[in-house]
């Protein structure tokens, strides 16, 4: 049997695509992955999903699933482990079985990268977060720290200044790798205090985040010969740092914070597509919309903006994208949506929107290809 459409991914993007393709009578088959549900399963309160003042992430996913099942979608809570897109119909395999499909919507999402601190996962949702847009609101007039040195960390810190009293950016090197424009914005923002050459070694707190533990390499080495009290006095008062120990090159200390935002990047779940589709240098799936945008940036802005698609490659791959379909990938008939494509917004609402767009495009694509 050849399916009309197989959807890979059971988060907001995949479920939205399933709803629309089911209502278009395409009888979609949805592989929701193992564990299913995606990133919203890892969060507690969601307060920015339109229509819900507040809802638990797992409850929202449960409601999506019930909604698509009502329209007859078959959900299989397994991973697709292999795909073959070089001939149509496409072949997709799980650990148990192979399937054939005329079209595929990939919505495999992404995962935030974490630091691996001892108490990081225990305090996730209790002050530890990887999304300022999602959780910044909970830190009104509080003190928060952002870890990272790239554009994402700058964005997160700037977003947090709308809510928090102070925002520390903690970076393990002596300078940021973020774009100059973002660095300038951060450095001009009076609520932001930057701590360079510092490594967060743990996050502490019984129920909620209360402190972070740090190893700071002072720019003035003479500081290392002073007493704990003298170092505390020499440290900006705003930090209220407690010195715990003085090592050969480092001051080991703790500073009180209410929140810790980890902004060291995301990893899209796209490994199984690497040999089949065009991905950018970070593993995000390139769709025709993204491709057109990068090409326009290159041509109009004279490559002033950084892109994760090599400029030289843009010309080479240009014939692979059908610009009639925004969510088309480099293989005709394979579409992609949600956080496996979107490295910018990464929200449930935007994932739903692109999932819907991919579903509508599949419908149109099947209609055109049957003529």
Ligand X SMILES: Cc1cc2nc3c(=O)[nH]c(=O)nc-3n(C[C@H](O)[C@H](O)[C@H](O)COP(=O)(O)OP(=O)(O)OC[C@H]3O[C@@H](n4cnc5c(N)ncnc54)[C@H](O)[C@@H]3O)c2cc1C
Q: Which residues are catalytic?
A: 131, 134-135
Contacts to ligand X from residues 140-159, by CB under 6 A: none
Residue 88 and residue 102 in contact, taking contact as beta carbons nearer than 8 Å: yes
3-class SS shares of the chain: helix, strand, coil, % to 5 = 35, 25, 45
* Segment interacting with ligand X (CB under 6 A) among 188-196, 237-245, 306-314, 340-348: 340-348
The pair of three-digit structure tokens given for residue 32, joined into one six-digit string: 């929701």
48 binds ligand X per the rule CB under 6 A: yes
254 binds ligand X per the rule CB under 6 A: no
- The distance of closest approach from Cβ of residue 58 to ligand X in the complex, given in angstroms and rounded to an integer, is 11
- The distance of closest approach from Cβ of residue 194 to ligand X in the complex, given in angstroms and rounded to an integer, is 25
Helix (H, G, I), strand (E, B) or coil at 156: helix
Residue 100 and residue 330 in contact, taking contact as beta carbons nearer than 8 Å: no
Site residue total, ligand X (CB under 6 A): 39
Single residue of 36, 205, 218, 353 touching ligand X by CB under 6 A? 36
In this structure, what are the phi and psi dihedrals at residue 353, rounded to the nearest 5 degrees?
-60, -45
Report how far residue 272's alpha carbon sits from residue 81's, in angstroms, rounded to the nearest whole number. Answer: 7
* 150 vs 256, beta carbon nearer ligand X: 150
314 binds ligand X per the rule CB under 6 A: no
What b-and-e string marks burial along 195-226, b requiring 16 or more CB atoms within 10 Å of the CB?
bbbbebbebbbeeebebbbbbbbbeeeeeeeb
92 binds ligand X per the rule CB under 6 A: no
* Segment interacting with ligand X (CB under 6 A) among 279-287, 323-331, 339-347, 360-368: 339-347
37 binds ligand X per the rule CB under 6 A: yes
| DSSP at 255 | E
* Segment interacting with ligand X (CB under 6 A) among 44-52, 95-103, 192-200, 321-329: 44-52
112 binds ligand X per the rule CB under 6 A: yes
- The distance of closest approach from Cβ of residue 224 to ligand X in the complex, given in angstroms and rounded to an integer, is 38
Single residue of 195, 347, 356, 361 touching ligand X by CB under 6 A? 347
* Segment interacting with ligand X (CB under 6 A) among 11-19, 142-150, 183-191, 288-296: 11-19
- The distance of closest approach from Cβ of residue 299 to ligand X in the complex, given in angstroms and rounded to an integer, is 29
* Segment interacting with ligand X (CB under 6 A) among 139-147, 250-258, 304-312, 347-355: 347-355
Report how far residue 109's alpha carbon sits from residue 17's, in angstroms, rounded to the nearest whole number. Answer: 13
163 binds ligand X per the rule CB under 6 A: no
- The distance of closest approach from Cβ of residue 236 to ligand X in the complex, given in angstroms and rounded to an integer, is 31
The pair of three-digit structure tokens given for residue 331, joined into one six-digit string: 């293989």
* Concatenated DSSP letters of 158-224: HHHTTT-SEEEEE-SSSS--S-HHHHHHHHH-TTEEEE-SEEEEEEE-SSS--EEEEEE--SSGGGG
Single residue of 11, 28, 127, 205 touching ligand X by CB under 6 A? 11
* 78 vs 201, beta carbon nearer ligand X: 78
Range 186-189, long-range pairs (CB < 8 A, 24+ positions): 186/154, 186/157, 186/158, 189/157, 189/158, 189/161
Bridge partners, 2 (sequence order): 100
- The distance of closest approach from Cβ of residue 198 to ligand X in the complex, given in angstroms and rounded to an integer, is 24
Query: Would you tell me the crossing angle of helices 151-160 and 180-188 to the nearest 10 degrees?
Result: 30
Residues that bind ligand X (CB under 6 A): 8-14, 31-33, 36-40, 42-43, 46, 48-49, 79-80, 107-110, 112, 130-131, 134, 269, 272, 338-339, 346-349, 351
């Amino acid at each position: 049997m050849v399916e009309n459409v197989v959807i890979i991914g059971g988060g907001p993007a995949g479920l939205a695509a399933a709803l629309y393709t089911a209502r278009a009578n395409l009888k979609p088959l949805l592989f929701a992955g193992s564990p299913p549900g995606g990133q919203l399963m890892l969060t507690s309160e969601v307060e920015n999903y339109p229509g819900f003042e507040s809802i638990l992430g797992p409850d929202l996913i449960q409601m999506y699933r019930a909604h698509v099942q009502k329209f007859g979608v078959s959900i299989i809570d397994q991973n697709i482990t292999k795909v073959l897109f070089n001939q149509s119909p496409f072949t997709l395999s799980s650990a148990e079985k192979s399937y054939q499909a005329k079209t595929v919507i990939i919505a495999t999402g992404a995962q935030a990268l974490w630091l691996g601190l001892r108490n990081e996962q225990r305090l996730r949702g209790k002050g530890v977060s990887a999304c300022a847009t999602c959780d910044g609101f909970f830190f009104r007039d509080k003190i928060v720290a952002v870890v990272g040195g790239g554009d994402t960390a700058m964005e997160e810190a700037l977003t947090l200044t709308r809510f928090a009293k102070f925002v520390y950016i903690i970076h393990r090197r002596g300078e940021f790798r973020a774009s100059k424009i973002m660095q300038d914005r951060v450095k001009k923002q009076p609520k932001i205090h930057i701590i360079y050459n510092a490594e967060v070694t743990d996050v502490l707190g019984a129920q909620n985040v209360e402190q972070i533990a740090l190893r700071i390499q002072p720019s003035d080495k003479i500081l290392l010969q002073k007493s704990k009290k003298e170092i505390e006095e020499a440290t900006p008062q705003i930090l209220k740092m407690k010195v715990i120990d003085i090592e050969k090159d480092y001051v080991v200390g703790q500073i009180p914070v209410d929140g810790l935002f980890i902004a060291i990047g995301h990893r899209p779940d796209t490994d199984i597509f690497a040999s089949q589709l065009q991905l950018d240098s970070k593993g995000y799936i390139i769709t025709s919309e993204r491709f057109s945008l990068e090409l326009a940036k290159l041509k109009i802005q004279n490559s002033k903006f950084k892109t994760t698609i090599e400029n030289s490659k843009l010309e080479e791959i240009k014939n692979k994208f059908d610009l009639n379909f925004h969510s088309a990938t480099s293989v005709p008939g394979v579409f992609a949506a949600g956080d496996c494509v979107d490295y910018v917004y990464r929200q449930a609402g935007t994932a739903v929107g692109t999932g819907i767009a991919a579903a509508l495009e599949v419908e149109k694509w099947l209609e055109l290809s049957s003529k």
